[in-house]
Amino acid sequence: MPPIHLLPRYTTLITGGTTGIGRAITLAFLRNGCNVAVNHLGLPQDAPHLSSLIAEAEKIRKDDPEAGRMIEVQGDVQDPETANVLVTRAVKEEGWSGRLDVCVSNAGVCRFEEFLG
């Protein structure tokens, strides 16, 4: 049975998308035909996670040519300029839709004390 693509040609950006829940979301969106711009900090200790995510995304695309494509965008979402770079890269990526359909804010930078005071 051929894959069913629930998000064909959609464009998504995902912060914190190289590990954990963000990674699972990234892979699920790719399998469903969605192009994904994945944000990460670019820390040396995260390089193996990023490399394995890129390899898995390539395998998904090899097994299903209609699956989504992925780009990775380094930057810290605590820096306001990172948001501009993320959206611009996702919207202007060649062959993508030219729009941003979904944003998954998954980066683990929440400081709960800000909400308690």
Domain count, the chain: 1
Does 62 map to a domain?
Answer: yes
The string of pLDDT tens digits covering residues 14-41 is 999 999 999 999 999 999 999 999 999 9
Does 3 map to a domain?
Answer: no
Does 15 map to a domain?
Answer: yes
Domain containing residue 26: 11-116
Does 108 map to a domain?
Answer: yes
Q: How many CA atoms lie within 13 Å of 98's alpha carbon, on the beta-carbon side?
A: 0
Does 2 map to a domain?
Answer: no
- Whether the per-residue pLDDT at 115 is higher than 70: the answer is no
**Which of the pair, 73 or 117, is modelled with greater confidence?**
73
* 35/55 Cα distance (integer angstroms): 15
pLDDT of residue 65: 95
Assign residue 25 the CATH number of its domain. Answer: 3.40.50.720
This prediction's pTM: 0.88
* 46/98 Cα distance (integer angstroms): 29
pLDDT of residue 78: 86
Spatial strand order of the sheet with 35-40 comes to 70-74, 35-40, 11-14, 102-104
Does 6 map to a domain?
Answer: no
Does 4 map to a domain?
Answer: no
pLDDT of residue 114: 56
